[in-house]
Structure 1
Amino acid sequence: MITTLTRRRALGAALAAVTLGATAACGGAAAEDGPITLDVWLMKDSAPDAVLQQINAEFQAAHPGVTVAVQILEWDGRDVKWKTALAGDNPPDVLEMGNTDVLAYAASGGLTDLTGREFENRATWLQGLREAGSYEDRLYGVPYYGGDRVVIYRKDLWAKAGLSAPPTTLAELRTAGEKLQAANGADFSGLYFPGRYQYAALPFLYDTGGTIAVKDGERWSGALSTPQARAGLTNWAELVKAVSRAPADADETNLPDVLAEGRAGMIIGQAWMVGSIGRDHPELADQLAAFPVPGTAGPMPVFLGGSNLASAAASPHPDLAYDWIRLMTGTKYQTLVAQNGLLPNSTSLAGVVTGITKIQMDAAAKSWFTPTSTKWSDVDNAQVLMDMLQSIAAGDATVAEATAKADAQIDQMLNAA
């Protein structure tokens, strides 16, 4: 899941000027008599207001008598709202879901099976997003946009510390962080790494051959206590202790501010942050660069996050919902998404990405996703992994103690009746 107000502004600036060929994009929905309201639920910061107004105006022009009503949901508490709405008599027609959320709702019968529908670039969708939207080889969530993380650094601070070429190994990354700290003072983070930043920390366990959980038959088991996973989390904990002054109880919310304000030389963030920092701090526009997160041997596997668009199984307007989803996930919008620092939903659009976004696209070839359990959202909503990481970063628990506790929680949640 990718959510920030800054990214929303960045994407909105470029998309606001686009005019859509709505008749071509939206043709194919069955005609319905009388005034109709198509209810679309999107997540906060995922689509700028200007874009929504333009898409909906064009959509409505292509479908006389239809009004699109968009409701914006907060990420916190989304699960309760979805469950209540999908169980009621008047569910939304279209829902944006984080790609870690789709599986549970598809398995419960709450979402429309879109397997037989046609979508642009379907054959070349990013595999991680396709998997996130699929259940038992059926499509329920259409890839909307993706995102993975890279190391973003300040070139001016880099030069001050006497650094030149970007590191290619985890050991070199730590050395670079230590040099940045030495050149900028005790309160400075060579690499700012908040303790609860799970989607930047978990790649460390995949880097050493670990995983979060495994399935044997019908039963899931937490795998954080395996030697491979613990080795990776130990590498993470040692790096954080050596080069980060970020709070153990913080998440990634203020990463751009920390880098822009000169409190860190590096952050692990998403490509759109480079553009947003440059716009908010023009003096830094030429001072930002990025490189893949280095692991013990080559680039570290990245988490492929993002969102999928789904239709409620009980939607009274399934054809209209399909047309709206097809429009939002088509080539034209995906190209603009890519040009503004987010990963488009298809590898066929790799040619439209440049600079740091291209680094993201290349990194996506070596990616991982959360366990494909229908109950994974319960683990995610309970913040089991973030609590585990915070306890390690704060020194409240050893890696062995924290992973054992998290595994027990994962076992209980994923195997609950």
Structure 2
Amino acid sequence: MRKTRTMGRLSLAAGLVVALFASGCGGPAPSGSDGDSDSGAIRMLTPIFEGADGKQVLEEQLKTFKSSHPKVTVEVDYTSYGKLNEKLTTSIASGRPYDVMLMGIGWIPPFAAKGALAPLDVRRDELGQRFNERVVDPGIYDGKVYGLPIMLDTRFGIYRKDLLAEANLTAPPRNFAELREYGRKLTRRDASGKLTRAGLDILSNDLRQTFLPLMWANGGDLFTADGKPAFDSPAAVGALQFMTDVVRTDRSEDFGFTQPGAASGPPLAQGRAAMMIGHNNVWQSIQESAPDLIKQDKIGFFMINNERLAIFQGGTLATVSAKSSHPGTAKALVDFLAGPGPSLAANQQRGNVPALKELASSEYVTGNKSVQFAMQNLDAAYSEGGVPAWLEIRGDFKAAIESALLGKKTPQQALAELAAKAQVAIDKG
């Protein structure tokens, strides 16, 4: 089974964006369009269902869709999140956009603001009956629904119960102070000072996606209500200071010790880390690499908490192009992909969290404690994005965070410079 890929750094191709928006998001629909007629070819772009196994999963699901739309052909273009933005902008600027586009949480405002997406024929209150309210919000821009959620990928606290018990710690940490204290107690170094176990792993996860749940838990926000950067607030600075203290003061983790590729398998499974802020699919990775830890109930979870409870919520939404040649059928396909069959299949393939409430009782969810934990705590979930310039801003977080962790800048300086840079991108429109 393939591991979930985080929505890593994107390169927003400036030339493509200029071409996209100068051409009014691709101009008119291609000639030969038959509008809402339920026939013809639907072009779909997806960063999920990757690999041979994912392709097989999607093809099986599409057979069900085609049974009710026998004259429709679905042409699927598979890509990765790293290449998704370029493929989206290129297709729109060329005047031949995909009909159905799967994209990440935080991506709706950048594309909807420029008229690249079609509003879906559904009301927010209707979606609230099918999905958790926190899951619905990322698909909405300017009061209109543009995307339906298929899957979620969350980040929260994960720990080794047995390692905490060895240190006489009877419950997971409840706040930042305890998280640092536990990290210090659980860290192990040999006689030469070489790290052999990280007490708190904050580096194996994407740095932005570690910082954000800490920021939200500390009471901070990404943007103000009027769309200005807020991630340089005292609460946000406090979250980055926490990360900096874990590495530089407490020495609960060293750079390079837990990063991907440092060793095979998750550090938590190997005993190279006692706690981590990590992705929900760590459970699936542990099932594959160290199944006895699952059987012996040695893996536990905890919410990030200080001023409030928080978990990071990313995910994948299905959208329809504003210039689709088959808007009615494209919207039907989006609704189908967000339904129980495809959603469950997609999440099983990637070890992710279903967005639909009804899937909480599915065998897949009840057999995966990490996914259960995420679904039970979505009321405390926060999503990134929120402004049209987000895709330009998000890639700059890693360097800013690293500059603080490496001691090159203070957390205040790093975030203030990042916020100023972000404001320039926002002002450009």
Q: If the length of structure 2 is used for normalisation, what is the TM-score?
A: 0.80
Matched, 1:271 2:277: no
Residue 400 of structure 1 is matched in structure 2 by 412
Given the alignment, which residue of 336, 358, 377 partners 2:391? 377
Q: Secondary structure at the match of 1:213?
A: coil
Given the alignment, which residue of 43, 47, 52 partners 2:47? 43
C-alpha contact (below 8 Å) 1:120/1:330 kept by paired residues: no
1:38-95 deviation line (CA, Å, top 9, x unaligned): 2111004568222111012233333334322211112123222211212223211111
Q: Which moved more, 1:173-182 or 1:255-264?
A: 255-264
Q: 1:30 to 1:221 in 2, by over 3 A?
A: closer
Matched, 1:201 2:205: no
Residue 22 of structure 2 is matched in structure 1 by none
Residue 313 of structure 1 is matched in structure 2 by 322
1:283: Cα distance to partner? 3.8
C-alpha contact (below 8 Å) 2:201/2:258 kept by paired residues: no
Q: 1:314 to 1:232 in 2, by over 3 A?
A: same
1:253: Cα distance to partner? 10
Residue 109 of structure 2 is matched in structure 1 by 103
Residue pairs, 1:135-146, within 5 angstroms? 135-146=141-152
Q: Provide the rounded CA distance (Å) in 2 between the counterparts of 1:117 and 1:165.
A: 42
Given the alignment, which residue of 222, 230, 235 partners 1:223? 230
Residue pairs, 1:5-84, within 5 angstroms? 5-7=2-4, 31-32=37-38, 36-44=40-48, 48-84=54-90
Q: Secondary structure at the match of 1:175?
A: helix
Unpaired runs of at least 5, structure 2: 6-34
Q: Provide the rounded CA distance (Å) in 1 between the counterparts of 2:176 and 2:79.
A: 38
Residue 343 of structure 1 is matched in structure 2 by 353
Residue 28 of structure 2 is matched in structure 1 by none
Matched, 1:412 2:409: no
1:373-399 deviation line (CA, Å, top 9, x unaligned): 11111112xx12111111111111111
Residue 181 of structure 1 is matched in structure 2 by 187
Q: Secondary structure at the match of 1:365?
A: helix
Q: 1:358 to 1:291 in 2, by over 3 A?
A: same
Q: 1:66 to 1:224 in 2, by over 3 A?
A: closer
Q: 1:69 to 1:415 in 2, by over 3 A?
A: same
Q: Provide the rounded CA distance (Å) in 2 between the counterparts of 1:403 and 1:95.
A: 33
Q: Secondary structure at the match of 1:91?
A: coil
1:75-128 deviation line (CA, Å, top 9, x unaligned): 123222211212223211111100111111111111111034899855342333
What percentage of aligned pairs have identical amino acids?
26
Q: Provide the rounded CA distance (Å) in 1 between the counterparts of 2:209 and 2:98.
A: 29
Q: Provide the rounded CA distance (Å) in 2 between the counterparts of 1:166 and 1:229.
A: 23
Q: Provide the rounded CA distance (Å) in 1 between the counterparts of 2:71 and 2:323.
A: 21
Write the letter of the residue equivalent to 1:293: M
C-alpha contact (below 8 Å) 2:243/2:405 kept by paired residues: no
Q: Provide the rounded CA distance (Å) in 1 between the counterparts of 2:154 and 2:95.
A: 37
Given the alignment, which residue of 386, 403, 415 partners 2:398? 386
Q: Provide the rounded CA distance (Å) in 2 between the counterparts of 1:128 and 1:256.
A: 31
Number of corresponding residues: 386
Q: Provide the rounded CA distance (Å) in 1 between the counterparts of 2:108 and 2:308.
A: 31
Q: Provide the rounded CA distance (Å) in 2 between the counterparts of 1:363 and 1:123.
A: 17
Q: Provide the rounded CA distance (Å) in 1 between the counterparts of 2:277 and 2:398.
A: 16
Q: 1:201 to 1:40 in 2, by over 3 A?
A: same
1:346-383 deviation line (CA, Å, top 9, x unaligned): 34544444433222123321122334211111112xx1
Residue 258 of structure 1 is matched in structure 2 by 267
Q: Provide the rounded CA distance (Å) in 2 between the counterparts of 1:237 and 1:193.
A: 10
C-alpha contact (below 8 Å) 1:197/1:251 kept by paired residues: no
Residue 303 of structure 2 is matched in structure 1 by 293
C-alpha contact (below 8 Å) 1:149/1:302 kept by paired residues: yes
Q: 1:343 to 1:282 in 2, by over 3 A?
A: closer
Residue 224 of structure 2 is matched in structure 1 by 214
The root-mean-square deviation of aligned C-alpha atoms, in Å, is 3.2
Q: 1:53 to 1:45 in 2, by over 3 A?
A: closer
Q: Provide the rounded CA distance (Å) in 2 between the counterparts of 1:60 and 1:406.
A: 47
Q: Provide the rounded CA distance (Å) in 2 between the counterparts of 1:339 and 1:103.
A: 28
Q: Which moved more, 1:389-398 or 1:118-127?
A: 118-127
Write the letter of the residue equivalent to 1:38: I
